[in-house]
Amino acid sequence: MKYQAQMIIFVTTCLEMMHKGSGLQCWKCIAHDCDTDPVDNYKASKVKCNDGERCMKVRYRMFDNVTHYDSVIRTCTGNPCDSSSVDEFFKCVATPKQYMIGGCTLRSCCDDRNLCNRGETITGQNLFIGTIGVWILITTVK
């Protein structure tokens, strides 16, 4: 009986994680200082995304021989999110032609929990694998 209860909890958790995006809440901040923690930023607000959307955080950097641009935007998106790695971002910044002509973008998307675009993101896949690992640990420790 105890095993059945654990199995029901596990299956329910998995199904809930697979139903991503429904009513997801994200930070929205489109201003010059959105790089600061949105909890402490009066310009940031919590918004409810449309079904199928996920949270997104984008950092953009560019230098035009006079001014360094460095901005962060947080919002919901329904578009595909081609997440780039931090290494790719800094490789772009170190390449003058890319950095000075088109700029460099570091984009991350998440839909595994509300307000996940606050800082570092954990992908839904990593959360799912972690849940399986915890469930296996609980059932084998007995």
pLDDT in tens, the chain (142 residues): 554 545 455 444 444 444 443 589 999 999 889 999 999 999 999 999 999 999 999 999 999 888 989 999 999 999 988 877 899 999 999 999 999 999 999 999 999 999 999 974 333 444 344 334 333 433 444 4
Sheet strands (E) in the chain: 25-30, 45-48, 54-63, 68-77, 104-110
Q: Is residue 141 part of a domain?
A: no
Q: Is residue 106 part of a domain?
A: yes
Q: Is residue 131 part of a domain?
A: no
pTM of the model: 0.64
pLDDT at 128: 42
Query: What domain range includes position 98?
Result: 24-122
Number of domains in the chain: 1
Q: Is residue 98 part of a domain?
A: yes
First to last CA, the chain: 14
Q: Is residue 51 part of a domain?
A: yes
Q: Is residue 60 part of a domain?
A: yes
Q: Is residue 129 part of a domain?
A: no
CATH code at 55? Answer: 2.10.60.10
